[in-house]
Structure 1
Amino acid sequence: MRTVINTLLSLTVCLITLSACNNTENKINKDMTTHQHTEKESVYACPMHPEVTGKQGEKCPKCGMDLKAVNPENTAAYAVQLTTSPQNVEAEKPTKLMLAVKKEEKIVSLDISHEMKIHLMVVSEDLTWFRHIHPEEQKDGTYVISETFPTGGKYLLFTDFKPSGGEQTLNKKEIEVQGKSSPVNNDVSTKYISKVDGYTVTLTNGSDFKTNKTQHLEISIEKDGKKLIENDLQQYLGASAHIVMIGKVGKEFLHIHPVSDSRFPVFAQTHIEKAGVYRMWAQFKIDGKVHTADFTVDVAEGKKGENEEKSHAHQH
């Protein structure tokens, strides 16, 4: 009888110990689950490039902006509805472009971002023609502007906007323009000097562009033998200048905002992920007029970890 009692006591002790272990393990698993869920709620993304995510305190490798906390409820896709009048777009004839930003089929309101509610960059497929325009808001919440396309062919429309309560968003669309098309431009020659409206604009480090590093954009401006400084420029869209880069093959889009630098009137930093030929447009404003300089750069493949310098691009 004593043997049976001892056996039962031993089994009871084992069961209690096993139960305690299971409870401890379940608590650990619950804590881990809770911790992982908390991390998922704290999502940080770039306001300009929402596809770029990371941790608090990190910067976007594309434009250098601080990653900001994103509310998962606001990450639903925003659609841009484009309507043209006339429906069939023809070259050398004015066309009305009507844009409606929607979420779940409803028009959403937009916040002002870089002094405008909506930025529209229109380029020809071969990247020889570029326009940066700002459609005007209508009473129904849509945005309208008139544009005349110079030749027939395909055009790309990049729409940049910030929905109220949402994150900065970039949308890409294509339209086909009827009419005589210009010869396809396959010229991949680099271009570091642009002459526009009497100004000589130079991308001084154009031959140094590489991937896998913080890339400087060093732009000098000269007129009548005088080198301009940043104070000679008027603010344009909340910065000293406005810069766009688009890849010639994959049409990768980089939207860059300069920061102050004592050496150059226009200076910025970015991070280029893919090697290849890129077209660049730098816009600056003097005496109330916006001037657009264009460049062509060939971005080489850089070694990973070659340059770990932190970016300090414009915050907005």
Structure 2
Amino acid sequence: MKAAARVAGFVGGLVVVLGVSWAAGAAVGPVVDDPVPAGHAMPAAGDDGHQEAASGEHLPGGLAVAQDGYRLVLADGVLPAGRQRVAFTVVGPDGRPVTSYDVAHEKRLHLVVVRRDLTGFRHVHPVLDRATGEWSTEVPLAAGAWRVLADFVPAGGEDLVLGADLLVPGRFAPAPAAPVTRTDTVDGDTVTVDGDLVAGEHSMLTMAVTRDGAPVTDLEPYLGAAGHLIALREGDLAYLHVHPGDGLEFGVEVPSSGTYHLFLDYAHDGAVRTAHLVLEAS
């Protein structure tokens, strides 16, 4: 009877997030797009049931909670709706919190907090407590299932992107799948993307920012570049963080066909803005 009630609630468009958390986790999990090469093991499940990527495993960024001995541990996996403190540690191969990181794109860690239906997105830079190894920041959270993605380079190591699930209890209407969207309007700016994504191939995307029909020519540097592009694959939120070459031209190689949500961060008039675009990869 309870399961039937949950299904009826979902069909009606209102979902109690804690009632569907198991279903969401079962339906959306770590995905390996290609067969595992000879000599490589499939990612092993950790003690908490999350998928772990073995060293050398070709797993898109953000799908594993642990990789190469590093693990992302949230202080709280369930938070109430509203502006909340999100805190976490990165535990290293020695079992201790990591406190030393290399700087990448002017920051020691980039954090993306995104709702599973891609209607909520924040790219922020938390503060590290060097005494405890805990990172923390505040972000606004609406009811729903969220993914926390930490992009960092442990000192002397390789770039890693680890992800963990965060649940915000409450009723919400899950958004339908988004159509292809090549134009977005942000605070009076119009952002457009030219180019196409092709799975497994290097694709060039060119972003343009205009206002009242005229090109915006006074974009300000943000984190050492003209803009930053984060691509998330619809369905499992596989993660790509791309930085431009010349201006707002981005070379992107997506791992599979499917729908990709592109979040462009750029600075203009003293404020950082985020445009949301959607492309299909053939």
Output the TM-score relative to the length of structure 2: 0.72
Aligned amino acid, residue 235 of structure 1: P
Question: 1:146 matched to which residue of 2?
Answer: 138
Question: 2:151 matched to which residue of 1?
Answer: 160
Is residue 101 from structure 1 mapped to residue 83 from structure 2 by the alignment? no
Structure exhibiting the larger radius of gyration computed from Cα positions? 1
Q: How far apart, CA to CA, are the structure 2 residues paired with 1:224 and 1:163? A: 44
Q: How far apart, CA to CA, are the structure 1 residues paired with 2:97 and 2:255? A: 34
Which runs of no fewer than 5 residues in structure 1 stay unpaired?
1-49, 54-60, 63-74, 301-316
- Residue by residue over 1:123-155, the C-alpha shift from the partner in whole angstroms, topping out at 9 and shown as x without a partner, is 1001111100111122413211122202x1210
Report the alpha carbon displacement of residue 98 of structure 1 after superposing the two structures with TM: 1.6
Is residue 241 from structure 1 mapped to residue 227 from structure 2 by the alignment? yes
Q: Which structure's residues are more often helix, by fraction?
A: 1
Task: Calculate percent identity across the aligned residue pairs.
Answer: 27
Question: 1:10 matched to which residue of 2?
Answer: none
Question: 1:211 matched to which residue of 2?
Answer: 199
Report the alpha carbon displacement of residue 101 of structure 1 after superposing the two structures with TM: 1.6
Report the alpha carbon displacement of residue 212 of structure 1 after superposing the two structures with TM: 3.3
Is residue 279 from structure 1 mapped to residue 265 from structure 2 by the alignment? no
Q: How far apart, CA to CA, are the structure 1 residues paired with 2:216 and 2:249? A: 13
Structure-2 change in CA distance of 1:271 and 1:123 (3 Å):
same
Output the TM-score relative to the length of structure 1: 0.65
Question: 1:298 matched to which residue of 2?
Answer: 280
Alignment of 1:30-179 (within 5 A): 76-84=68-76, 88-92=78-82, 94-103=83-92, 104-108=94-98, 109-140=100-131, 141-150=133-142, 152-179=143-170
List, as ranges, runs of 4+ consecutive aligned residues in structure 1 with deviation greater than 4 Å: 50-53
Aligned amino acid, residue 201 of structure 1: V
Report the alpha carbon displacement of residue 196 of structure 1 after superposing the two structures with TM: 0.3
Question: 1:256 matched to which residue of 2?
Answer: 242
Report the alpha carbon displacement of residue 100 of structure 1 after superposing the two structures with TM: 1.4
Question: 2:187 matched to which residue of 1?
Answer: 197
Contact 1:279 1:294 in 2 (8 A): yes
Q: Which moved more, 1:96-105 or 1:170-179?
A: 96-105
Q: How far apart, CA to CA, are the structure 1 residues paired with 2:101 and 2:236? A: 29
Contact 2:221 2:227 in 1 (8 A): yes
Is residue 223 from structure 1 mapped to residue 214 from structure 2 by the alignment? no
Q: How far apart, CA to CA, are the structure 1 residues paired with 2:254 and 2:213? A: 33
Report the alpha carbon displacement of residue 95 of structure 1 after superposing the two structures with TM: 2.0
Contact 1:91 1:180 in 2 (8 A): no
Give the secondary structure class of the aligned counterpart of 2:153.
strand
Is residue 288 from structure 1 mapped to residue 270 from structure 2 by the alignment? yes
Aligned amino acid, residue 198 of structure 2: K
Question: 1:185 matched to which residue of 2?
Answer: 175
Report the alpha carbon displacement of residue 213 of structure 1 after superposing the two structures with TM: 2.2
Contact 2:144 2:167 in 1 (8 A): yes
Contact 2:188 2:211 in 1 (8 A): yes
Q: How far apart, CA to CA, are the structure 1 residues paired with 2:134 and 2:236? A: 30
Report the alpha carbon displacement of residue 51 of structure 1 after superposing the two structures with TM: 5.1
Report the alpha carbon displacement of residue 236 of structure 1 after superposing the two structures with TM: 1.0
Give the secondary structure class of the aligned counterpart of 2:146.
strand
Report the alpha carbon displacement of residue 268 of structure 1 after superposing the two structures with TM: 0.7
Contact 1:275 1:299 in 2 (8 A): yes
Aligned amino acid, residue 212 of structure 1: G
Report the alpha carbon displacement of residue 214 of structure 1 after superposing the two structures with TM: 1.4
Contact 1:82 1:100 in 2 (8 A): yes
Matched residue count = 219
Report the alpha carbon displacement of residue 88 of structure 1 after superposing the two structures with TM: 4.2
Give the secondary structure class of the aligned counterpart of 1:255.
strand
Give the secondary structure class of the aligned counterpart of 2:267.
strand
Is residue 270 from structure 1 mapped to residue 232 from structure 2 by the alignment? no
Aligned amino acid, residue 102 of structure 1: V
Which runs of no fewer than 5 residues in structure 2 stay unpaired?
1-54, 62-66
